[in-house]
Structure 1
């Protein structure tokens, strides 16, 4: 898994994909919860890197890393921050940011300019912003930004950088081709056949003779304690505070009247509008369309003549339309009569022309008509408030030193205790019953509490009730009793010692082979029954076409020099392989062999990627990139909690 991350961050093709195409880094990396918290002692303006005259702030780096981690964790929920960072994210993400910014700075210095109309055009092509009809949807656009906590300015800047990078890097890759002469050499490798053998010295033939004392096994357990330790488990003592402890609550006439008065706009009549929308890149273009209209009804036809397309927009209210367009566009639309065209007026995507197709007005709803509806709302609010007050009283009692049992008793709440749980909320005993959802939500908090800690209170999983909780029984992580695991320890210890003896025996065999003996003759030096030597006659093409994981001894053989022999450890102390490569046969291939053309096609993109990478490195050297390791370390420490 970690190697996979490293390949992603370090490969030339991954680099070109990042820099050369509009990928919306902001949308891809940013997550919905990154904008609401402070940065904990690191000034947001402090730089982690300087690219030319531009800076990458600690806050931007932190947001990008956090978003990248969230995306990776969506595919691998068990991924930890440390695993993510060990996979190359610390440098990989920052390198991508500096490379992208360097290319953008170089593009600006050399006269590349990205206009608002081009950015707007790219926005309309992004699938995330398109409605069911495949057309750009302002509503989908705003929803996507709101979901990810992004501003339109950030997205437009990201698009601008991506477009500039594409304009700079793609031309460097056009026409790149892998040389046919080199492709022929690569293709010849597939016709290569290797002849040799694989011998195996199993640990088991030595392990059977090993005797283990209790003292040796205890020492082995001490050295391998983590391998045999059971995870920490805790039982959770808890009580639920819900509405069952409340007395009857009902809305009074006065409360209903007050609610109606305070929320008058909600029950007032509304004005719904349906518009035909046309967005143009400049005000002059919008005025040109407007001047060609002999009547508002022709707007769609005139747009088609100019190669443009209109869209229909509906709005339930001014606020609804403002969210879809802008306050300025909304004001213009609501100042326009039915059948007329509003605009041109500047909006988020360009200059808007809005024809008002229909206006539907609804009348006010009197108090009598909505009394029951309001009564339900007020009653629900009172119940929620009463429960919150009850929870607040319970919290005050806990803070005053009352125990969980005492508080639960005062609230007539039942106290329960779970079975032993693991930190992930699952039962330690597989036969245990299901863990209540309210408890699962607080299990990690329970594992963070010290033994004897005061009980805590939190909102329960349903969002409506509250849970009082504390750790009950705590069983630390430790191996089971020695007598209980002695057979497993004895088997593992013998296997380990047998592997050491097998290694020494394999060294003896290897030395004999290097002196000229055949593998079969050398294996006779081991005075035990060993598996027969396996001959190997295999082509690289057969190895590649196996469509399964290549056995380690074969992988080693196809990386060795002719006439060599090597030793390879088998997994889990199972023994040692001795790989002997006798000779290598490589057949010539015809000039018109289709394998050559296929190799050219397959390796061509790598050449383009290499060209893009070299250009990017040259641009970085020209622009100048410096990193602030102190700030980088501070960001990583803050994200991992190692401050």
Structure 2
């Protein structure tokens, strides 16, 4: 059952949804809210409301879905914010408004429409067609009956009919598609003249008074969030390997011998044969006669090996090989019966054997090609053998250490030293781990402890699970170490916040160089803009006689192909009036300031296949806009009112949740 759930998650979401809907759509919202009358309301929607219990349940389910999708990267601090909670509450409000409309206007779904919708669900199909047997099996595996599922699905389909027709009828006029298409494909030929910041930075002078003034005016930009100095243990393959004892030479040789096929290719021979079958009830005289015939053929073949194939076609009684000249292919030593191998592997290339008895029949063999044993001797393969043995021993050692580390982490969570000593691990240290990121070195005070962001273990320390453990309630109050955190298969860590540093503003002396760089950049930008605007004014005065000197080679850009230009330049280019050309446009960009010379405007034209795609996108955007407009009107009609309790629910912290 659990395997089914894992492999049919989309169907599971549908099933859960349609099981929930009837409680609203079929039995009525008022009944539901009266059932929860003792719960705290967050939002009033007409005669009903959204309760705290409903909101918390929806929030938990949302976080579970996100965690299932994100896996180890899941971080509640990032995804469970007031903004995401507000979006969730809005979605609950909108759904409640739709349910009210469904009830008021008696939206229904016919049996035929219900059957079509269920038949279209892929998980109920076999070879692209609805399967009643599979339908019953899927529902049975989920512990559902068809009546409950179908009623739930009917309610969901009815709910879709509230806004469905709005989206279905949304349509953008042809003229709009044409206008947007022309705007997207319109091309403009331009040249650029740059005034980069780097050309003005050398002339900028910054004094201490300016630095201090900037510091006092920009405290927010200099704030450092709460962060931790941490100590931690890492258990991985390297740590497990380091604690291994020396490996005996005899053990390495034994491993080589047991796995010799991995290092050495056994001798092999490409052979053909002629088989002479002896009846099971043959007398000794008859057997002697068959053997004599075989010997005669063997002698003929030995005298002229080029005739072996023809002899096999004529005399061989092996129906499977006689037609192709007796070809058996490659025989590897150690894989065939001993009597065959002893005869075949004595032959040199091109030699024919005598008569060989195998399982009561007689054979004559020809060695078409012979390859001797080849590969690495123990001495040649020793380094690889040792590495493989160490890897296997390290895997066993890792499993042992992982068990012991788990026990140690829970026995003593006040220090990592006992666990480190017991397991032979190193207590490592780093600083600058904030609740949502690793801090850059330049914002941290001078310390002998390495910044986590520059640490070889930065990826481990930046794992959301590690950061959550460091800033948990237990860590804050008792400085307890975390339990074992499995970062990846074969990598475990235990972390402890040695010190939690409160949020602070960087001291002036520490921030001095950063502030100097900011001031230099600001003043250089001002200078670049002034210089650029002065040149721009002179170019505009010159009108059509303006020189191209200092401008780059022309490029052709469109809204769909910026040719490497920044968004500021592109916006300015297409906002510029193109009555008189060339036209000159001044714009600030990341590098400083630029003057764009607009030389030519080329009308756009959308190709037919792009026009169809654009129409579909515009129709979809129009559908969403119209649905939102209708929904907004419905919300207004329902007199949706946020209660004071909603603000508290949206801003509650993880500690309050717990």
TM-score, length basis structure 2: 0.48
Rg larger in 1 or in 2? Answer: 2
TM-score, length basis structure 1: 0.49
